[in-house]
């Protein structure tokens, strides 16, 4: 059975209250059609795990604007004053995580590890309530794995099986999140016949991908 | 000369041939304009590329080639793109030679605070905590004071970015090296006296016998 689904059907799978890993860095490499459909269908009380919340009106910023996010786990909200406003007003819970730690926690979640040991954050507010472990005389923080109900990705190409590759800086968190979502939905820029992406160039193997979004309108159709 | 240009030109002289360099958003980004002639370094952007360069000319922007602020960039031949784990593996793993970051406060222990002002401004740390913890050399590029308030303090009052001692602080007034003994005044800006630097600094400064004027790189 084909993994291709309409963007409407893909978002219908996502219940209110779901946790979502969403790819992208300042909206570059985010699944913009899926995000727009989440807003259109009004999915609410979402937990979103993503590098940032982009800007008001753009990318994950659209979910913030529409007040669909209950909790945001992220490294940076400096480019989105509305996220900062909602955080300071206590309207949206924001958990700030160092960017490299966020990436490794997602990798740990997707790769079956019990967490990662990182020097980042030792002795700062980030370390509060966390275990420290000494290895070879150096102190590390134990950072626990992150997973979510869904991973929503953007990729360059998906072949018919769901093998994925990526574009330049639109790669960012996408291949990591592909490992850590219960249901993985990719929004490809282009769908290509199986075999067009050579095995050496497949970044995300098809077994990780549950669905990809059908082609949008183009060529006047 | 504009204060920020002074800082950027002085920081540029710290970069060495072949260095892998990460420049923070804002003032640090402008350091790239003042690289000494003949020095080639590799610029990393933590969203996933080594070999970032300016967009060669207007109209050549690429949709999926951007910096950590989401702005369009170009790339040099030989550039490499990768995911966020690789990007921060390079940073944390000791592969990044230099990071240049902005600062809100630096203290006598050489500790940096640059990611939040509680209750007022909460941008988040982004990659800053990993960069300060992991880079081989950390250079802070910031104005010496903010609205007359000292930023070089006995102890940081804002949440720390890392407990690691940074390697160098460059301001429009001085070059200061944090050491195990304290903050050593290494250079002063052209036309600035040692007394002027001390007056603008809350922290105790160790003043060696000779404190030369900053060498400032040439504008390109």
Tell me how many helices (H) and strands (E) chain A has: 6, 12
Q: In whole angstroms, how far apart are CA B24 and each of B14, B32, B142, B214?
A: 15, 11, 11, 22
User: Both tokens of residue A212?
Assistant: 């990809």
Structure confidence by residue, pLDDT tens digits, B113-171: 999 998 888 899 999 999 999 999 999 999 999 999 999 999 999 999 999 999 999 99
User: Both tokens of residue B27?
Assistant: 């003032």
* A41 domain residue, yes or no: yes
Structure confidence by residue, pLDDT tens digits, B52-75: 999 999 999 999 999 999 999 999
* A136 domain residue, yes or no: no
Contact B117, B159 (CB under 8 A): no
CATH code of residue A54: 3.40.1080.10
Listed in sequence order, the residues at least 6 apart from B60 whose beta carbon sits closer than 8 Å to its beta carbon are: B74
Range of the domain at A185: 4-115+144-213
User: Both tokens of residue A211?
Assistant: 């669905």
Distance CA B125, CA B51 (A): 24
Position A102 scores a pLDDT of 98
Of all residues in chain A, the one with the smallest CA distance to B70 is A26
Structure confidence by residue, pLDDT tens digits, A184-196: 999 999 999 999 9
Sign, CA torsion B188/B193/B199/B205: positive
Testing the interface with A: which of B47, B67, B96 to mutate, by most A Cβ within 10 A? B47
* A103 domain residue, yes or no: yes
Catalytic residue (choose from B14, B46, B108, B187): B46
Chain B residues at the A interface, defined by Cβ less than 8 Å, are 45-49, 62-70, 75, 81-85, 87-88, 91-92, 119, 121-130, 133-134, 159-163
Q: Does this complex have an ipTM over 0.90?
A: yes
Position A57 scores a pLDDT of 97
Q: In what helix (H) or strand (E) does residue B52 lie, and over which residues does it extend?
A: strand B49-53
Contact A178, A151 (CB under 8 A): yes
* A132 domain residue, yes or no: no
* A220 domain residue, yes or no: no
* A121 domain residue, yes or no: no
User: Both tokens of residue A91?
Assistant: 């309207």
| CB atoms near residue B35 (< 10 Å) | 17
**How close, in Å, is residue B157 to chain A by CA atoms?**
13
Position B220 scores a pLDDT of 44
Total of domains in chain A: 1
Active site residue B61: no
Every domain of chain B and the residues it spans: 3-206
Indicate the class that CATH gives domain B3-206: alpha beta
| CB atoms near residue B126 (< 10 Å) | 26
Residue A140's DSSP bridge partners are A133
């Amino acid at each position: 059975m084909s993994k291709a689904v309409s963007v409407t059907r893909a978002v219908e799978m996502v219940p209110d209250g779901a946790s979502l890993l969403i790819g992208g860095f300042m909206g570059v490499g985010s699944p913009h059609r899926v995000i727009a459909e989440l807003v259109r269908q009004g999915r609410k009380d979402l937990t979103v795990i993503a590098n940032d919340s982009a800007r008001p009106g753009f990318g994950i910023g659209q979910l913030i604007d529409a007040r669909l996010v209950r909790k945001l786990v992220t490294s940076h909200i400096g480019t989105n004053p509305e996220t900062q406003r909602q955080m300071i007003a206590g309207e949206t819970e924001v958990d700030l995580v160092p960017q490299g730690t966020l990436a490794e926690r997602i990798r740990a979640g997707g790769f079956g590890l019990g967490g990662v040991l990182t020097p980042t954050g030792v002795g700062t507010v980030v370390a509060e309530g966390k275990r420290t472990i000494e290895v070879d005389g150096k102190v590390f923080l134990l950072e626990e794995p992150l997973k979510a109900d869904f991973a929503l990705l953007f990729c360059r190409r998906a072949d018919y099986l769901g093998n994925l590759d990526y574009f330049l800086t639109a790669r960012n968190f996408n291949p990591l999140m592909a490992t850590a979502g219960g249901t993985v939905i990719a929004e490809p820029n282009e769908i290509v016949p199986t075999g067009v992406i050579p095995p050496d160039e497949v970044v995300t193997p098809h077994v990780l991908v549950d669905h990809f979004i059908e082609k949008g309108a183009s060529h006047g159709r | 000369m504009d204060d920020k240009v002074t800082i950027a030109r002085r920081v540029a002289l710290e970069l060495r041939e072949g260095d892998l360099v990460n420049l923070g958003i804002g003032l640090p980004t402008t350091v790239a304009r003042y690289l000494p002639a003949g020095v080639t370094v590799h610029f990393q952007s933590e969203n996933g590329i080594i070999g970032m360069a300016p967009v060669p000319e207007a109209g050549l922007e690429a949709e999926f080639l951007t910096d950590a602020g989401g702005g369009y960039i170009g790339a040099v031949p030989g550039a490499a793109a990768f995911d966020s784990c690789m990007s921060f593996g390079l940073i944390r793993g000791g592969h990044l030679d230099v990071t240049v970051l902005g600062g809100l406060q630096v203290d006598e222990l050489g500790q940096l605070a640059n990611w939040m002002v509680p209750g007022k401004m909460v941008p988040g740390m982004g990659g800053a905590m990993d960069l300060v913890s992991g880079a081989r050399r950390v250079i802070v590029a910031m104005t010496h004071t903010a609205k007359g308030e000292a930023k070089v303090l006995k102890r940081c009052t804002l949440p720390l970015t890392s407990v690691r001692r940074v390697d160098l602080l460059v301001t429009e007034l001085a070059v200061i090296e944090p050491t195990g003994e304290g903050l050593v005044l290494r250079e002063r800006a052209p036309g600035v006296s040692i007394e002027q630097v001390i007056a603008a600094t809350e922290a105790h400064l160790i003043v060696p016998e000779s404190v030369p004027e900053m060498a400032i790189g040439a504008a390109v």
